[in-house]
Structure 1
């Protein structure tokens, strides 16, 4: 995906960056172009290891408020997952975190969205259950300081309670929308009112948990055995930079891009079987609608600084408007 936030380096510049930080040089193999925000390159280190080098946007590039410092968030998530008791959340290994870049191991497999059409129904069912279980284990992680919101201090979007943190998150993206003159198609004042009216539901969330918030199929790698598409497995989840500490219900918003995520879905069945808990009460559903609205806002507003085309913006605006209508229907 083309984006104005991507920082591109030549093979020689990549080698100098990696060598200067790790003492080991590298040879560029290919640019990984599926990312939407950061640049990523597959390189071969001088010691023979294949790794992915992920670059933060160049200094001074315009980013949204919540995006400030999010590469450090991704590094933190990799470290926390590596220390998770019993493991159970497959992800690349963090090999190095440098100034404005990460080096991680290469995952076996292919992004789920690239192989989805090849998978029979039974395989998709099994994968959704496996993904539910992985998500439940991801949600076992809690912040060390007990605060809700985005971990990076640069964003200043955290608080001791979820209502305050989430309200600040929404206010920040609405401020970004004004800055970028984003044509939301819905009144910001109405959005703020909706968040305030959902305060009673947000107050039910008292324990912050790690929320990836970008678990669409492109960020989930699967291995499909040659000649046997009926027996795939998940090999890892990537792109943790959007993560925040919050309500597990929020995870269902991006998970829904890959299939059903309701109370009777295979995904939720796997989540519950792994020890997670998702109670689809009226308050839960109210929060879920708020989180859908928030993600819709992110998708629309990021089109400004990233320079996405009009067709993509129109698609994102439809997503936002659908979530706005859903929330309004709740009364």
Structure 2
């Protein structure tokens, strides 16, 4: 995916960057073009190991507020999940000042391996539910909700405060890039405010990946081999994970994914307030997808229509909740 936030490097620049930071150089094997924010390169390190180098946008390139400092967030999540155990992911080989070096996973991204037609799809969703439950056992180290990067400044002592700040930041981003939303800012604020009581039911800030669509889940031999791209992670309501997980299959109460989640100790009670929160999280993701078209320079009509459609559907659902 082409994006204005991607930094394009030559083989010589990549090698020099790694050598300065880690003492180990690399040989470029190819650019990985599926990412939508960072640039990524498949390389062979001097010691022979295959690896992926993820490079943050160039200094001075405008990004959404929540995206400030998210390369460090991704590295932090790799370390947290490694310490917690039970969540397959790449090895974090090295963290540079504006890049990460991670190991290469076995298999393919789920969307490239057949999506919902992949061999053993239901069993894979069941396994993914169990993995997601283990991911959610990680808690905020300081007890605060929201995005962990201090550069973003989008956290708070409780979930309603943090979520409201996160939404306000996206509204401000839409204004900054002169993106006309299909709904007045005042209506979106009103819908979020009406959900404060439902949001307040969340009292423990769990780690939420918030980008578990099939492209960020690797599979091989009917097994999940790893989760990637942790940079969008925040501390908040574990149920928010269902919004991106829904892109890969059923997330209803009787689904294989939720069954696996509960078997691994995760709690999901599909109460009216949970459905209210899920509608808010769909609103948030829809707003995020629309707003990011500005700094990234997206012009793909299908993607823009999908993003705006998601936002419209969430607004409609929240209106119906009253």
Do both proteins adopt the same fold according to a TM-score greater than 0.5, normalized to the shorter chain? yes
Partner of 2:309: 318
- Distance in 1 between residues matched to 2:290 and 2:118, nearest whole Å: 33
Cα-Cα RMSD: 1.0
Separation (CA, whole Å) in 2 of partners of 1:134 and 1:187: 38
Question: What displacement does 1:251 show?
Answer: 0.4
Question: SS in structure 2 opposite 1:155?
Answer: coil
| 1:165-210 Cα deviation digits (max 9, x unpaired) | 0000000000101111112211111010011010000110000000
* Counterpart mapping for 1:242-257 below 5 A: 242-257=232-247
5+ residue gaps in structure 2? Answer: none
Q: Aligned ranges for residues 283-294 of structure 1 at < 5 Å?
A: 283-294=273-284
Once the two structures are TM-superposed, the CA of residue 58 in structure 1 deviates from its matched residue by 0.4
Aligned to 1:67: 67
1:98 is matched with 96
2:26 maps to 26
Aligned residues: 321
2:268 alignment partner in structure 1: 278
Q: Does 1:269 align with 2:259?
A: yes
Counterpart secondary structure, 2:187? helix
Match of 2:129 in 1: 132
Aligned in 2, Cα 1:120/1:14: closer, same or farther, shift over 3 Å? closer
Structure 1: runs of 5+ lacking an equivalent:
225-231
Secondary structure at the residue paired with 1:192?
helix
Match of 1:141 in 2: 138
Contact map agreement 2:7 2:39 (CA 8 A) in 1? yes
1:2 equivalenced with 2:2 (yes/no): yes
**For the residues of structure 1 that align with 2:198 and 2:227, how far apart are their CA atoms?**
29
- TM-superposed CA distance for 1:315, in Å, is 2.0
TM-score by structure 2 length? Answer: 0.98
Aligned 8 A contact 2:286 2:307 in 1: yes
Cα deviation per residue 1:240-296 (whole Å; 9 max; x = unaligned)? 000000001100000000011111211100100111000111111101100000000
Moved over 3 A (4+): 117-121
Q: Look up the match of 1:329.
A: 320
Q: 1:63, 1:150 → 2: CA distance?
A: 15
The TM-score with structure 1 as length reference comes to 0.95
In the TM superposition, residue 327 of structure 1 has moved relative to its aligned partner by 1.4
